[in-house]
Amino acid sequence: RKSVVRITTGSQALDELLGGGIETLSITEAFGEFRSGKTQLAHTLCVSTQLPLSMRGGNGKVAYIDTEGTFRPDRIVPIAERFGLDAGAVLDNIIYARAYTYEHQYNLLLGLAAKMSEEPFRLLIVDSVIALFRVDFTGRGELAERQQKLAQMLSRLTKIAEEFNVAVYMTNQVIADPGGGVFISDPKKPAGGHVLAHAATIRLMFRKGKGEQRICKVFDAPNLPENEAVFQITPGGISD
Partner that binds at residue 56, options ligand ADP, Mg ion, none, CB closer than 5 to 8 Å by kind: none
Partner that binds at residue 158, options ligand ADP, Mg ion, none, CB closer than 5 to 8 Å by kind: none
The nearer residue to ligand ADP, 44 or 165, going by C-beta atoms, is 44
Binding residue for ligand ADP, selected from 4, 16, 34, 194, defined by CB under 6 A: 34
Binding residue for ligand ADP, selected from 24, 40, 48, 172, defined by CB under 6 A: 40
Partner that binds at residue 207, options ligand ADP, Mg ion, none, CB closer than 5 to 8 Å by kind: none
SS (H, E, C) the chain: CCCCCEECCCCHHHHHHCCCCEECCCEEEEEECCCCCHHHHHHHHHHHCCCCHHHCCCCCEEEEEECCCCCCHHHHHHHHHHCCCCHHHHHHCEEEEECCCHHHHHHHHHHHHHHHCCCCEEEEEEECCCHHHHHHCCCHHHHHHHHHHHHHHHHHHHHHHHHHCCEEEEEEECCECCCCCCECCCCCCCCCHHHHHHHCCEEEEEEECCCCEEEEEEECCCCCCCCEEEEEEECCEEEC
Site for ligand ADP contains 181 (CB under 6 A): no
Partner that binds at residue 37, options Mg ion, ligand ADP, none, CB closer than 5 to 8 Å by kind: ligand ADP
Site for ligand ADP contains 234 (CB under 6 A): yes
Nearest distance, CB of residue 206 and Mg ion, angstroms: 10
Site residues for ligand ADP per CB under 6 A: 34-40, 212, 233-235
